[in-house]
Structure 1
Amino acid sequence: MKTTRILAAALLVLGAGLLPAAGAQTPGLHRTDLVRNDLSASGHEVVQVRVDFDPGVLAPRHAHPGEEVAFVLAGTLEYRLDGRAPVTLKAGESLFIPDGVAHSARNVGSGTASELATYVVRKGAPLVVPRP
Structure 2
Amino acid sequence: MKTTRFMATALLVVGSSIAMQAAQAQAVGIHRTDLLKQDISVPGREAVQVRVDFDSGAFAPKHSHPGEEVAFVLEGTLEYQLGDQPPVTLKAGDSLFIPSGTAHSARNVGTGKAAELATYIVKKGAPLAVPSK
- Please state which band the TM-score falls in when normalised by the shorter chain: 0.7 to 0.9
TM-score, normalised by the number of residues in structure 1: 0.81
Secondary structure of 1:127's counterpart equals coil
Contact persistence 1:22–1:130 (CA under 8 A): no
Hey, which of these two has a bigger chunk of helix by percent?
Answer: 2
Secondary structure of 2:43's counterpart equals coil
TM-score, normalised by the number of residues in structure 2: 0.81
Distance 2:71 2:24 in 1: 19
Alignment of 1:20-39 (within 5 A): 24-25=24-25, 26-39=27-40
- Say if 1:107 and 1:23 are closer, same or farther in 2 by CA, change over 3 A: farther
Question: Hey, what does 1:128 align to over in structure 2?
Answer: 129
**RMSD of aligned Cα (Å):** 1.4
Shift of 1:22: 7.1
Shift of 1:23: 6.3
Identical amino acids, percent of aligned pairs: 67
Is 1:108 aligned with 2:109?
Answer: yes
Distance 2:47 2:84 in 1: 26
Distance 2:78 2:60 in 1: 10
- Say if 1:105 and 1:120 are closer, same or farther in 2 by CA, change over 3 A: same
Secondary structure of 1:101's counterpart equals coil
Is 1:65 aligned with 2:66?
Answer: yes
Task: Structure 1: state its 5+ residue gaps.
Answer: 1-20
Question: Hey, what does 2:79 align to over in structure 1?
Answer: 78
- State the one-letter code of the partner of 1:127: L
Secondary structure of 1:104's counterpart equals strand
- State the one-letter code of the partner of 1:90: K
Distance 1:22 1:126 in 2: 17
- In terms of Rg, which structure is larger? 2
- State the one-letter code of the partner of 1:55: S
- Say if 1:114 and 1:122 are closer, same or farther in 2 by CA, change over 3 A: same
